[in-house]
């Protein structure tokens, strides 16, 4: 009964009611968008790398090891020698390893030495594999695979020659010009730091550092096919004519690497192996769980998300205050309505409830419209957001969204008390002669 009267009352003031509804809808939509993006960005951030159970490096801080291996920021202070690499590879709990060698750049972009196992096992987001959209993976020791951002920024295509520089500065005077690399593939955009990295073979990287000649030893070898490729003229081993399976990037044994990513046969053994590696003395190693390290890093950046959420909340509060102002401003226009309601038996408390029901109807309609609006916007933006590493997962609206809606309804109840009390007091002595 009261809800019907409240709806009819709002219809008589439809212009003011619609403007208020629009204001609250925009505010709630903004708050829901911020909360939704915040949650999805956090989720995507913590899934920058997925499928990697442990990251192992020389003794260092957890965040330093994470930033250097996953985000290509900084570099480990020391490396892991080859014997440690063999030991990790032969561990019964280890299914696969990805060695990474850091410390070089190409025109300000990071260069990462690795093997084809990186493209086979490294995943991001919801266990999404890397896809080489153009060309193929490493086909010989001097081939390179580049991220999509580098291909776009520098205009590289498959077959182009590039040279790397020693050191991590944007400007380097120590270029490895005598060992140019050939672009064999371009990785499809992932929205992760992979897009801004140049991936070269460990063999080619060590050749570039060693100079024209590389001493051979039982621990440092290349496949016969790779040796043939090095001895052939440059034009005879173009990446378009060589199949990737003819080059075994795993056969080369580097002197050392910076970091190793591990995939385990059973993920439940991650904590046990982490403890064992962290307790090793000869050589000393540091093993981290990527998920835990990413969560710790996100906590450091938590102030930014709290600020955005706070600003959006203030906007909603302002909209609700506008709602109360609207109800108060129309109170004088409703003196006749209040008097009529009193004459048909409505008590002062009924008038108080009527004003609050009107406010709750407006806010509830705004919340429902906002949920539909935000869901539609996110559905349209989903492909675009994925290119920036934000992967929307279902369901879009979780517990935090429900809490926000309930808090907004609670705030609506509180701010509507002021006009409701005014109606209650008016109803105590209203009469038809006041119309």
Query: Is 319 in the same domain as 419?
Result: yes
What whole-number distance in Å separates Cα of residue 339 and Cα of residue 12?
Answer: 17
Last residue of a domain, one of 256, 288, 320: 288
Query: Is 104 in the same domain as 208?
Result: yes
Decide: 28 and 316 in contact? Cβ < 8 Å. Answer: yes
CB atoms closer than 10 angstroms to residue 159:
12
Residue 248 zone, left/alpha/beta (φ > 0; ψ -120 to 50; rest): beta
Sign of CA dihedral 237, 240, 246, 251: positive
In a domain, 110, yes or no: yes
Domain containing 141: what range? Answer: 54-288
What is the greatest pairwise CA distance in the chain? Answer: 109
Angle at alpha carbon of residue 431, lines to 429 and 435, rounded to 5°:
120
85-99, 159-173, 231-245 — most confident range: 85-99
Decide: 75 and 266 in contact? Cβ < 8 Å. Answer: no
Decide: 257 and 155 in contact? Cβ < 8 Å. Answer: no
Could you report the per-residue pLDDT of 238-257, keeping only the tens digit for each? Answer: 433 334 456 787 888 888 89
Query: Is 219 in the same domain as 362?
Result: no
Tokens matching residue 179: 């060992």
What whole-number distance in Å separates Cα of residue 240 and Cα of residue 425?
Answer: 86
CA-based R_g, the chain, Å: 32
In a domain, 294, yes or no: no
Decide: 145 and 199 in contact? Cβ < 8 Å. Answer: yes
Model's pTM, two decimal places? 0.69
Number of domains in the chain: 2
Name beta bridge partners: 104.
111, 166
- Residue holding tokens 């990446």? 239
In a domain, 293, yes or no: no
Please report, for residues 21, 86, 121, 333, 414, the alpha-carbon distance to residue 421 in angstroms, rounded to integers and kept in the order given.
Answer: 22, 78, 65, 16, 11
Query: Closest Cα to residue 101, out of 223, 207, 172?
Result: 207
Query: Closest Cα to residue 209, out of 169, 247, 254, 250?
Result: 254
Could you report the per-residue pLDDT of 392-435, keeping only the tens digit for each? Answer: 766 778 788 888 889 888 888 888 887 777 766 765 555 444 44
What whole-number distance in Å separates Cα of residue 337 and Cα of residue 330?
Answer: 11
Percent of the chain with pLDDT over 90: 21
Query: Is 170 in the same domain as 233?
Result: yes
In a domain, 407, yes or no: yes
Average pLDDT, stretch 12-39? 85
Last residue of a domain, one of 233, 259, 288: 288
Last residue of a domain, one of 263, 288, 313: 288
Query: Is 179 in the same domain as 307?
Result: no
What whole-number distance in Å separates Cα of residue 38 and Cα of residue 220?
Answer: 48
Tokens matching residue 62: 């957890």
**Antiparallel, parallel or unpaired: β 143-146 and 181-187:** parallel
Tokens matching residue 318: 């302002």
- 216: Cβ–Cβ under 8 A, 6 or more apart, which residues? none
Query: Is 191 in the same domain as 225?
Result: yes
Could you report the per-residue pLDDT of 119-155, keeping only the tens digit for each? Answer: 999 998 778 899 999 999 999 889 999 999 999 999 9
pLDDT score, position 138: 92
């Amino acid at each position: 009964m009261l809800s019907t009267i409240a709806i009819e009352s709002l219809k008589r003031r439809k212009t003011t009611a619609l403007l208020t509804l629009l204001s609250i809808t925009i505010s709630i939509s903004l708050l829901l968008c911020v909360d939704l993006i915040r949650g999805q960005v956090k989720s995507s951030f913590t899934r920058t790398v997925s499928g990697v159970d442990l990251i192992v490096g020389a003794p260092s801080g957890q965040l330093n090891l994470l930033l250097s291996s996953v985000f290509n920021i900084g570099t480990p202070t020391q490396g892991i020698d080859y014997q440690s690499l063999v030991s990790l590879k032969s561990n019964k709990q280890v299914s696969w390893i990805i060695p990474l060698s850091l410390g070089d750049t190409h025109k300000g972009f990071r260069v990462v030495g690795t093997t084809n196992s990186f493209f086979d096992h490294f995943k991001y987001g919801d266990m999404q594999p890397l896809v080489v959209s153009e060309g193929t993976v490493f086909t010989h020791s001097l081939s390179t695979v580049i991220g999509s951002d580098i291909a776009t920024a520098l205009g590289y295509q498959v077959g182009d020659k590039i040279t790397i520089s020693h050191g991590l500065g944007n400007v380097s005077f120590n270029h490895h010009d005598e060992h140019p690399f050939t672009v064999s593939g371009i990785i499809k955009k992932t929205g992760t730091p992979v897009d801004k990295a140049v991936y070269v073979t460990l063999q080619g990287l060590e050749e570039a550092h060693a100079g024209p000649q590389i001493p051979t030893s039982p621990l440092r070898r290349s496949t016969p096919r790779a040796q043939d490729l090095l001895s052939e003229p440059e034009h005879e081993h173009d990446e378009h004519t060589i199949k990737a399976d003819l080059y075994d990037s795993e056969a080369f044994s580097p002197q050392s690497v910076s970091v190793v990513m591990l995939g385990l046969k059973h993920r439940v053994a991650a904590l046990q192996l982490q403890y064992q590696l962290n307790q090793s003395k000869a050589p000393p190693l540091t093993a981290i769980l990527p998920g835990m390290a990413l969560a710790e890093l996100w906590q450091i950046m938590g102030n930014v998300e709290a600020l955005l959420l706070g600003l959006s909340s203030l906007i909603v509060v302002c909209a609700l205050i506008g709602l109360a102002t609207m109800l108060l401003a129309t109170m004088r226009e409703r003196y006749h309505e209040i008097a009529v309601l009193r004459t048909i038996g409505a008590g002062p408390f009924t008038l108080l409830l009527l004003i609050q029901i009107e406010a709750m109807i407006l806010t509830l309609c705004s919340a429902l419209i906002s949920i539909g609006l935000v869901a539609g916007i996110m559905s349209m933006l989903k492909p675009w957001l994925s290119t920036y590493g934000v992967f929307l997962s279902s369901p879009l609206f979780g517990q935090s969204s429900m809490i926000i809606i309930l808090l907004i309804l609670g705030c609506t109840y509180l701010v509507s008390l002021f006009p409701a009390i005014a109606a209650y007091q008016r109803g105590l002595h209203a009469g038809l002669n006041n119309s």
